[in-house]
Amino acid sequence: VSPDHPDKYRVLEDAFGFSTFRSRQEEIVDAVLSGRNVLAVMPTGAGKSLCFQLPALVKGGLSIVVSPLIALMDDQVAALKLSGQKAEAIHSGKSREENVEIWRRVTRGEVSLLYMSPERLMTPRMQAALTKFSLGLIAVDEAHCISQWGHSFRAEYLMLGALREAFPGVPIIALTATADRSTRDDISEKLFGGDVSVFVSGFDRPNISITVADKTRAGAEIERFVKSRGGQSGIVYRISRKKVEDTAAALSAAGIRALAYHAGMPPADRAANQEAFLAEPGIVMVATVAFGMGIDKSDVRFVVHGDVPSSLEAYYQEIGRAGRDGEPADAYMLYGLEDVRTRRRFIDEADCEPERRRVDALRLDALIGFCEATSCRRVALLAYFGESSQACGNCDICLDPPALADGRDVARLAIDL
Ligand code: ADP
Ligand code: MG
Ligand code: ZN
């Protein structure tokens, strides 16, 4: 029990109805309550909202939440109101009268969490208005939007770099599910000038067994793997539409229920295949990375990468579609140098800024490092996301340590040392 902020347990029960904190929520809450700037990185669904909502309620008074989308603001406000919290959002989806009425309630001290967009928060008018309050904290949700090296960059988020000077002494907590090092470093630099405590947690999916195998004849290797998982639902990712079609045809010819999915197919066929995959057990979906976003199927038993993925971040997201039910599942990747050359060429030939190219090249290097690891893959994967862990016992290297040149294996060597 932390003596510093005894109120946090009461608020956890009374305001949220939870009896315990999850994962590292408590550490984050403590850090924010002690006035530190925090960057919290946790996967979607891990419970990031509580990390700023709870300290805001413990501190009392007004806190600000920055969010990029009206829909996200409305969802969170609705959920908070349901549990009796004084949350509101001011945004352009509301009439002027509605926004004015909310602001009145803010000035009367009737709002504890006020949601708004970055551009609204950063107007001189809003800043002048907010100096009349002693703010509890400022939360920046979906903080990866500040990073130009991700896919969700929003120019308005760059304005938030001026937050710490505009509101000195007010702790800022940034939250994101996007964890790779370049994004993390970017957020830390742009939002905090480097002065921030970073917490990464919740990325491990211990039920997914991880294997990286040498790629020689992809078609045969994929078929052998899929056959060994007879009758299970799974996804096979391939790098191109052509390979998707060839692989789906080959698996079908081998008697496996395989369907194809890529962006070049007629929308109706694509939708029908997706429907079938979701509705019926035992279908293998052979797909490009166009498949999987927002797919909610809990009993996918394996994800195969027939080609090297674009980054560890993409790989992590893609294998995360397996085993959502918590039962054992497999991530099986074929790794070949030819693929690495292809990926390098994509990066070299991309029409983009040099800085972007540099970041993408670093990401590819990290992926190669993972594929060539000689110790636990999961430790390497989680370390890339900034999370530390122990050898997992559920990856190809833990289960079958590679032999060293002198004949001793890595596990033995560790004991010898
Ligand atoms: P994220 O923003 O990380 O995607 P949310 O903050 O939306 O996740 O939380 C996801 C779900 O987890 C919510 O339904 C929330 O109520 C629940 N949750 C969060 N913290 C806890 C906890 N300590 N105990 C139980 N459920 C929790
Ligand atoms: Mg969230
Ligand atoms: Zn391992």
Q: What is the pLDDT of residues 305-337, one digit of tens each?
A: 999 999 998 999 999 999 999 999 999 999 999
How far apart (Å, rounded) are the C-alpha atoms in residues 189 and 201? Answer: 20
Q: pLDDT at position 417, please?
A: 44
How far apart (Å, rounded) are the C-alpha atoms in residues 208 and 323? Answer: 7
How far apart (Å, rounded) are the C-alpha atoms in residues 119 and 190? Answer: 16
Q: pLDDT at position 74, please?
A: 97
Q: pLDDT at position 169, please?
A: 93
Q: Whose CA is nearest to atom 26 of ligand 1?
A: 18
Pocket test residue of 11, 12, 14, 16 for ligand 1, highest count of atoms within 8 A of CB: 16
Residues of the chain with pLDDT under 50: 1-2, 416-417
Q: pLDDT at position 182, please?
A: 84
How far apart (Å, rounded) are the C-alpha atoms in residues 368 and 337? Answer: 9
Ligand 1 lining (C-beta closer than 6 Å): 18, 21-22, 25, 42, 44-50
Say if CB 263 and CB 290 are below 8 A apart: yes
CA of 145 to the centre of ligand 2 (A): 13
Q: pLDDT at position 4, please?
A: 66
CA of 364 to the centre of ligand 1 (A): 32
Give the chain's count of helices (H) and strands (E): 19, 13
CA of 366 to the centre of ligand 3 (A): 17
The ligand that comes nearest to the alpha carbon of residue 69 is: 2
The ligand that comes nearest to the alpha carbon of residue 382 is: 3
CB proximity list for 12: less than 8 A, separation 6 or greater: 18, 19, 20, 21, 54
> Which atom of ligand 1 is the closest one to the Cα of 48?
3
> Which atom of ligand 1 is the closest one to the Cα of 49?
6
How far apart (Å, rounded) are the C-alpha atoms in residues 332 and 212? Answer: 6
CA distances from 260 to 243, 251, 302, 306 (A): 10, 11, 16, 14
Say if CB 394 and CB 382 are below 8 A apart: no
Strands 329-335 and 208-214: parallel
Q: pLDDT at position 294, please?
A: 77
The DSSP-derived string for 336-352 is -HHHHHHHHHHHHHS-S
Q: Which among 19, 20, 38 is positioned nearest to 30, based on CA atoms?
A: 38
How far apart (Å, rounded) are the C-alpha atoms in residues 174 and 198? Answer: 9
With 0.90 as the threshold, say if the pTM is over it.
Answer: no
Complex ipTM, two decimals? Answer: 0.98
